Amino acid sequence: MPQATEKSGRLVCLGLNYRTTPVEVREKVAFPRPSVPAALREVAALPGFDESVVLSTCNRVELYAVHHLDDCAQAHATLRDYLVRRFDLATGQAEALVTYGLDSAEAARHLFRVVSGLDSMVLGETEIFGQVKDAYKAALETGVTGRALNKLFQHAFSTGKKVRNQTSIQRGSTSVGSVAVDLAEKIHDLAECRVMLVGAGEMSRTCAQSLLSRGAKSIIVSNRNYDRAVELAAEMRGSAIKFDAWEASMHEVDVIISSTSAPHFVIHPEQIRQVMRKRRWEPLLIIDIAVPRDVDPRVNEIEGVYLYDIDALQAIADEGRRERQRQLAACEQIIEQQLEKFGLAASRE
Amino acid sequence: MPVSTMPSAQFLLVLSTLAFLAGVAPALAALRRGRWRRGRGVQLAAMLAGFALQTASIYLRGQQVGQCPMKSLPDILVFVAWSIALLYFLVGSTFRVSLLGMFTAPLLVVMHGLAFSFPGGFRPYPVKGQIIALVELHAALALVAYAAFALACVTGVMYLLQERLLKKHLIGGLFYELPPIQGLARAIQRMVMLGVVLLSASLGISFKLEGVAAGPKLAIAWGVWALYTLISIVIWRHTLSPRQTAWLAALGFVIPFISLWLVT
């Protein structure tokens, strides 16, 4: 069991992420969840070290620790050697292992940025907050955290919340799938939302999965190749219908995602007018992912129908990314203020 | 009238107006910055403060005139504004409270402003004859019904905005804050129905008040009731699209709003 951190203990972070290291190497040094408590104890028991937190996600592996070594470079080397030994990396693999080592204020700043989603592949994503919380909780339960890491992580969580609450870093959609979800949510109650896939392309599948993961009620798949429709429907716990039957079912769904390979429009204004009469003005979202387009753009002129083609979705996602980039400076400013407030910026030198 | 010599009921009303105004400004600024959340707490606090001051003002005004303060146009406007604020808090959980507040607060400011625009509008008036509880209830129910129609109007505006953003692919700050259009359409329906039920109850009471509640006032109230009953039927039978219904709810409020002048 590590001893309580002394006042002179120094914070260190050694890590690798999607920017520094390719997935072939990252997957070799990832810590599966059951192995984390053992890893935490091993890091804390390294000579000169006591506290530790291990963060292992699909995009990053980071070791946070407190050490009493004179030389920070030595601390980085010790942690790096630990990773090489722990995962039994061959010489070539060890050489390909590109890591970053951060100390004191830099390590704290890095953690604050990670928790706030600023270091994520999708800027501002929120999942990382929960992942860091889980990593810290595991360390706390294993008994390898002390005063230094406890305070650091509490400060990091409060900073992460502040960044999310005071900026719009997490607002807006950054992918076509999440744009589809946002649109559906602003038209319908997702829990009551029925989705139809016309055509079984990869992009339409991604959109449908995004909708299902956010609580869409049911899914119907229709494809020229019926077997493919059945396969996709089974994967998404939905139902499949023959390709010549999708038109008759259109009025029963709230979102239509179309991605056929037809060289001409397959959904026309007259069809949708009839559908809307049957729907008694219930709104209908149509997402046309096909190129060439499946849906006649005049469909958007029909009352209660909201048509988005791939360019419209892409433009919204691009704007979402730009908006998050614009928020970056404000987020960094909050992080600097928090580092100052918690006395972590001063320990930089 | 200088604020220092103003009776306390009116002074509280001025403060209430300022509180509602304070609720609009930070929300608008936050919206312009695209950081809606920053204005949320201020918005709610301002609405709560405005409502508390408004309630206290109506109470003091009631003490001043010795009856329910609903006998002059300024008093009626204030009472309807109070009912709107009350309903806003009751239905706030259906929407994002602060956002409905952003749309409701300007309406309350306008109504307070109109009430103050009548010279000598808040003069005390004598109690004419005996105060009959049923008459007071009849009037109060009618005014709360008008408040429900006002909120249907506000919700209608929100629907039309969100619908336009969706149609024109204007996916930005306001889009993410406005509720889903389906929810807004249902809220319009509920507000109109609530107003019709309350106004029906008010008019039902009038049958028990032979000779006391009659004449042009009652005729206008029946006219408003007929208009909103028609809107309810149109909504219920899906005769019009939700967008057309939203326009009806938004513009329809002009009639009860103007009728407040006619009945006084």
Domain with CATH 3.40.50.720 in chain A: 176-315
Write down which residue in B63, B96, B123 finishes a domain. B123
Q: What pLDDT shows up at residue A349?
A: 39
Runs of H (alpha helix) within chain B: 8-33, 40-65, 73-91, 97-117, 133-167, 173-177, 181-206, 216-236, 242-252, 254-263
Contact status, residue A195 vs residue A211, Cβ threshold 8 Å:
yes
Q: What pLDDT shows up at residue A304?
A: 93
Q: What is the distance between the alpha carbons of residues A256 and A272, in angstroms, rounded to a whole number?
A: 11
Same domain? B134 vs B33: no
d(CA B40, nearest CA chain A) in Å: 10
Do A306 and B166 make contact, defined as CB atoms within 8 angstroms?
yes
Residues of A in contact with B238 (CB under 8 A): 280-281
- On the question of pLDDT at A337 being above 90, the answer is yes
- On the question of pLDDT at B7 being above 90, the answer is no
* The CATH number of domain A10-166, selected from 1.10.3720.10, 3.30.365.10, 3.40.190.80, 3.30.460.30: 3.30.460.30
Same domain? B139 vs B50: no
More confident residue, A5 or B75: B75
Phi, psi of A239 (to 5 degrees): -125, 155
Phi, psi of B126 (to 5 degrees): -75, 155
The first and second tokens of residue B57, run together, are 């003002």
Do B166 and A187 make contact, defined as CB atoms within 8 angstroms?
yes
Write down which residue in B123, B156, B174 finishes a domain. B123
> Which whole-number Å values give the CA distances from A7 to A67, A156, A337, B77, B257, in the listed order?
11, 20, 23, 67, 70
Tell me whether B42 touches chain A (CB under 8 Å).
Answer: no
Contact status, residue A238 vs residue A245, Cβ threshold 8 Å:
no
Among all chains, which residue has been given the structure tokens 């501002």?
A124
Q: What pLDDT shows up at residue B248?
A: 93
Phi, psi of A10 (to 5 degrees): -115, 140
The first and second tokens of residue A249, run together, are 């079912």
Question: What SS3 state is found at B120?
Answer: coil
pLDDT in tens, A195-232: 999 998 888 888 888 899 888 999 999 998 999 999 99
- On the question of pLDDT at A338 being above 90, the answer is yes
- On the question of pLDDT at A348 being above 70, the answer is no
Do A308 and B183 make contact, defined as CB atoms within 8 angstroms?
no
Same domain? B134 vs B119: no
Write down which residue in B64, B92, B123 finishes a domain. B123
Same domain? B142 vs B264: yes
Q: What pLDDT shows up at residue A44?
A: 95
Q: Residue B52's domain spans which residues?
A: 1-123
pLDDT in tens, A117-147: 999 988 998 889 999 999 999 999 999 999 9
pLDDT in tens, B151-179: 899 889 999 999 999 999 988 777 887 88
- What is the ipTM, given to two decimal places? 0.73
pLDDT over 70, % of chain B = 84
Residues of B in contact with A167 (CB under 8 A): 35
Q: What is the distance between the alpha carbons of residues A157 and A176, in angstroms, rounded to a whole number?
A: 29
Same domain? B168 vs B241: yes
Domain with CATH 3.30.460.30 in chain A: 10-166
Do B176 and A172 make contact, defined as CB atoms within 8 angstroms?
yes
Looking at the DSSP assignment, which residues form a beta bridge with residue A255? A195, A285
pLDDT in tens, B43-90: 778 888 999 999 999 999 888 888 778 778 889 899 889 988 888 887
Exposure string of A261-282, with b = 16+ CB inside 10 Å and e = fewer, is eeeebbbebebbeebbeebebb
Confidence of residue A6 (pLDDT cuts 50, 70, 90): very low
Same domain? B158 vs B110: no
DSSP states of A201-228: -HHHHHHHHHHHHTT--EEEEE-SSHHH
pLDDT over 90, % of chain A = 65
Residues of A in contact with B158 (CB under 8 A): none
Domain count, chain B: 2
Nearest to B169 among A168, A282, A308 (CB): A308
Q: What pLDDT shows up at residue A271?
A: 93
Same domain? B142 vs B255: yes
Same domain? B161 vs B35: no
Q: What is the distance between the alpha carbons of residues B23 and A210, in angstroms, rounded to a whole number?
A: 37
Mean per-residue pLDDT for B192-200? 93
Which fold, A176-315? Rossmann fold (3.40.50)
pLDDT over 70, % of chain A = 97
